[in-house]
Chains A and B, each alone.
Chain A
Amino acid sequence: MGEDNINKLIRLARRQINIKNKLVENLQPEIATRIASLSTTDKIGLYSGLSNDYYSGMNNIVKITRGKR
């Protein structure tokens, strides 16, 4: 696979990354302001989801930093 093909794929991946990153950046403050109004069940569900996400993010950083994919 030459540079052109790799760069095409990288451009596509970057576009996806940027779109999702903006979405996450916009959603996070909104979630923070609405936590108080959530029901207990929803709070626990959100807590569970965010904790999982937190560790998957940490693991991703370690993997990228180490160069192990």
Chain B
Amino acid sequence: MNTVPEAILGESVTVDSELSTSIPHLDDSDIKNLKHSMLLGIYALNATLFTQARFEHNRIEANRKLIEILEKEIFDPTRISEMSPSDKISLYHAVKGNMRQSVIFMQDLHKNTSSSLEILKTLETESSDSDSEKLNSTNNSLANQELKKLLLEKIAEKVLKGK
């Protein structure tokens, strides 16, 4: 058992020395392998999600067709007038919910599009920043070369004068 000085932690704490030795030691190659396998796992997960997105697309395409058939059947004015009051109320609730969902979807889409635009803007700014940094560093190195050349000329002059 080791005692950590009170001045460090504010109170005296005892640390089990066996605990620190029981943690397995990971060397660089272990960490590299771990990172590699985690990366592969993440890629596999993303591939599954994109497959799911394709399935979702097919599903909602088919759903759209079913909804169109139902809308033709339900929204016919003669049929609405023939509906019972409870059916009319259910239809009203369904349409209201549908409209709300479409508005929420459009708002989310707008949010996503604007944040994507923000990302593009940030990337553009970062890219132009890095371009100007590159230019500055090139200018600096050119200025340094000029200075070095000038200094060498001055030294050569002094040496020649000295002779």
Chain B, range 75-130, C-beta contacts under 8 Å to A: 79, 83-84, 86-87, 90-91, 93-94, 97-98, 101-102, 104-105, 108-109, 112, 116
* Count of chain B residues near A, Cβ 8 A: 50
B residues at A contact (CB < 8 Å):
34, 37-38, 40-42, 44-45, 48-53, 55-60, 62-67, 69-71, 73-74, 79, 83-84, 86-87, 90-91, 93-94, 97-98, 101-102, 104-105, 108-109, 112, 116
A residues at B contact (CB < 8 Å):
1-7, 10, 13-14, 17, 21, 24-25, 28-29, 31-32, 35-36, 40-41, 43-48, 50-55, 57-62, 64-66, 69
Instruction: Kindly provide the distance from the CB of B110 to the nearest chain A CB, expressed in whole angstroms.
Output: 11
Cβ–Cβ contact B87 & A58, under 8 A: no
